[in-house]
Amino acid sequence: MLRVMTKVALASVFGLCAVMFAKMENVGAQEKKEEKKLTTKQIMGTGHKGAEALFGKIQAAVKAKKLDDAVAPAKDLAANGSLFPKATPPKGDAKSWDDLAGKYAVNTKALADAAEKKDEDAVKKAIATIGGSCKACHDNHRGK
C-alpha cells in the first residue's frame, strides 16, 4: 500500500513538473512573438510624431545634405514599416489595411535602400511618396 502511494505521489510530482516546464516554454514562445509586434500607435509615434521622430530626422539630414545621417533612422523606419501590416489599426477593413500598410512597408524599405546607396534623388522621391501617403491611410484607419 505504501509503495503504491509513493508511486502515485512520485507520478504526480513528475506530472506537475512536466506541466510547469510546458508552461515555461509557452511563456518563452510568447515573449519571442511579442518582440516582433508593435502597435500602430508605437510605429506612428516613433516614425512620425514631431521633428525628432525618425521621418523628421531623415528629412533634416537630407536638408543638411548629410545623407549619412539619414541611414540609421531610415533603417529603423523600414524595420518598423515591415511590422506595420501585422499591426491592427483602430478602424477600417482588413483588405484596405493590407494594401496601405503593405505600401508603407515597401515605401519605407525603398527609402532605407536609397539612403544606404546615398542616392539623393531616390531618397527625395521616397520621402515624397511616403509624405503623400499619410492622409489616405489616416482617413481609412486612424480612428477619430
Report the nearest approach of ligand HEC to the CB of residue 62 (Å).
14
Q: Is 106 exposed, middle or buried (0-12, 13-18, 19+ CB in 10 A)?
A: middle
Site for ligand HEC (CB under 6 A): which residue of 54, 61, 78, 100?
A: 100
Q: Which of residues 103-132 bind ligand HEC (CB under 6 A)?
A: 104, 130-131
Longest dimension (CA), the chain: 85
Burial of 3 (0-12, 13-18, 19+ CB in 10 A): exposed
3-state SS class at 143: coil
CB 58, CB 111: distance < 8 Å: yes
7, 23, 49, 86: residue in contact with ligand HEC (rule CB under 6 A): 49
Q: How far is the CB of 50 from ligand HEC (least distance, A)?
A: 8
Q: Give CA 142 to chain center in angstroms.
A: 17
Q: Does 28 bind ligand HEC (CB under 6 A)?
A: no
- 40 near ligand HEC, rule: CB under 6 A: yes
Provide the binding-site residues for ligand HEC, judged by CB under 6 A: 39-41, 44-45, 48-49, 55, 89-90, 100-101, 104, 130-131, 133-134, 137-138, 141-142
